[in-house]
Copies of this chain bind each other. A is one copy, B any other.
Amino acid sequence: MLDIKHNINNLRSWMEEKNIDALIIPHQDEYLSEYLPPQNERLHWATGFTGSAGIAIVGKDKASIFVDGRYTVQVQEQVDKDIFEILHITDNPYMDWIKDNFSKDSKIGYDPKLNTPVWLDYASKKLENYNLTSLDENPIDLLWNNRPSSKVDKALLLSENYTGESSESKRNKIAEKIKSSGNDCAFISKLDSIMWLLNIRGNDIPCNPVLLCSGIIHSDSSFDLYIDLNKIPMGLDSHVGENVRIHDLDTFNDIKNKDENKKIMFDNNSSNLWSYNIFKLAGYETIKSQDPCSLPKACKNDVEINGMKDCHVRDGVAVSKFLYWIDQQVASDNLIDEEELASKLDSLRSEQDLFKGLSFGTISAAGSNAAMCHYSHKNSKIPGKLEMGSIYLVDSGGQYLDGTTDITRTVAIGDVSDEIKRSFTLVLKGHISLGSVIFPKGTSGHQLDSLARQYLWEYGLDYDHGTGHGVGHFLNVHEGPQGVGKGGSNVPLENGMVISNEPGYYLENQYGIRCENLVFVKKHENKNRGSFFEFEDLTMAPFDKRLFDRDLLTDSDIIWINNYHEKVYNSVSKDLDNQEEIDWLKQATSPIH
């Protein structure tokens, strides 16, 4: 068991010794990725908070933790208010709190591995009268007893049957980009970028099939990989082709002893300050750039798209079986809880071929719990139960050798009110409108976002999250650079990009609705001269017709629904086990009029 009081006392003794007045403890680790391995959950060690975002400031006699709207309830349950003041990160920016609680010239310690150059620029301006101090070592790493050990599973070598392109070919293309931009090399710190580039996968982080590592790709297509050598399997050499040099993770620091005098592309937003400083000390000229793998990784090739299609059929089988099973339980008055529901779905998914794990923790939310966008029953003392006359929201996904899935369905539990039907149908209409748009080359997700919201807007309703995120191929379920949203990305959507289409609606303390399919971008054939794209659905599972408000659906909505459901039936039914499931799917996907 965590002893937060003990941990904080130890931290404060260390701060006393080092003469540090305040310590900044962000959630992120040195890889700045969305999911952390357990050994890097430093914020949890210091506060007890298990959310996926947040930051703590620990002073000698006061401390606070800052979280966003998703975690305001959870943080109250998990964090000891005798030790921490609990604050909302937007209403009370933590840098303002530092200014209010520490006198000028106070020494504010931060770990350069856990922060970016962009963060330091910002912090230096906001805290200009403070002594912002880069720490040589992270005190939590020194003080953490029984810290979980790192995984040392070997890398998985993903064959070209799945990736569609050799690592050598990918490296050649990235090297061309480096050359054409007048640089010598690029630092690659995003774990999914390295996995994509080398056609490998790993098991170091829950849900993200990546290995903890970093690398440098050079303009001659060679690659320096820094990684725990225990993770290197037999055959990596021949798998990745020539010119991949493998170094122990700990030797990354030695770079600074060379005088390279080269231009290195460096992403100030996604790579940490510690590596930035190492390159600076080694005499590199760092050139602010986006990760050059990001865009080509996002544009899936035909083999990857085919893999995505295949795994979505298997995933659709699991989800359809699950939806059938729910209906059976409800019919026999068995109003099960969120935990059991999630376990059932996870287990159905795990039975599918090529399954490698979940792509994120299943969100299984009954009744009013679904009104919290990022609800997790695991953070609830007692998981909620299905209730008659309400709706159940399930957002889940799997990792398969041939792709990644992410689907949300909202399910009627008994008869639901007309208001719920209306809300659901407005969300579904937005889903259909975005899903069926045809758009010219150059269009970004930011331009398309309003298509998904327009019907809710008509009723003065909206949802407070993005409409779509990029999805990796047997990689991270959230990837850039594209996205659909109000504050969304201006990166044009391109052939082969996969995004989620997930409008929703949430009525506080009452219910939550989300309709989510993954789609991919493909060329739209037309007789005119322009270059146009459209989306094709990857996700294959029925939308709950019991939630439709028929009066709100136009003829073209109905054509879309019937076509989509026909595709679902044709692809999924053949892999169902028994006639009951097939019959259920038949009626769940039968045409509406």
Spell out A's residues near B (CB within 8 Å): 437-440, 442-443, 446-451, 454, 457-462, 486, 524, 526-528, 530, 532, 554
Contact = CB atoms under 8 A, between A and B. Distances in A.
B447 A528 contact: no
Contacts of A454: 437, 451
Contacts of A450: 437, 439, 443, 447-448, 450-451
A530 B460 CA distance: 6
Nearest to A448: B450
Copies of the polypeptide in the assembly:
2
Nearest to A507: B528
A530 B451 contact: no
B438 A457 contact: yes
Contacts of A527: 460
Contacts of A442: 486
Given A439-B450, A447-B447, A462-B530, 13 more contacts: A437-B450, A437-B457, A438-B460, A440-B457, A447-B449, A447-B450, A457-B532, A459-B528, A460-B524, A460-B526, A460-B528, A460-B530, A554-B554
A557 to B, nearest CB: 11
Given A450-B451, A451-B450, A486-B447, A440 B459 contact: no
Contacts of A451: 450-451, 454
A334 to B, nearest CB: 36
Contacts of A439: 450, 457
A242 B582 CA distance: 83
Contacts of A457: 437-440, 532
Contacts of A530: 460-462
A387 to B, nearest CB: 24
Nearest to A554: B554
A279 to B, nearest CB: 25
21 contacts: A437-B454, A437-B457, A438-B458, A439-B450, A440-B462, A442-B486, A443-B450, A443-B486, A446-B446, A446-B447, A447-B447, A447-B450, A447-B486, A448-B450, A451-B451, A457-B532, A460-B524, A460-B530, A460-B532, A461-B528, A554-B554
A556 to B, nearest CB: 8
A531 to B, nearest CB: 9
A467 to B, nearest CB: 11
Contacts of A528: 459-461
Nearest to A437: B454
- Name the 4 nearest CB pairs between A and B, nearest first: A460-B526, A460-B528, A438-B457, A447-B450
Contacts of A443: 450, 486
Contacts of A447: 446-447, 449-450, 486
A485 to B, nearest CB: 10
A438 B456 CA distance: 9
Nearest to A442: B486
A207 B508 CA distance: 53
A524 B461 CA distance: 12
A437 B451 CA distance: 10
A527 B458 CA distance: 12
Contacts of A526: 459-460
A443 to B, nearest CB: 7
A438 B437 CA distance: 20
Contacts of A462: 440, 530
A450 B437 CA distance: 10
A524 B442 CA distance: 32
Contacts of A448: 450
A160 to B, nearest CB: 35
A554 B486 CA distance: 28
A526 B528 CA distance: 42
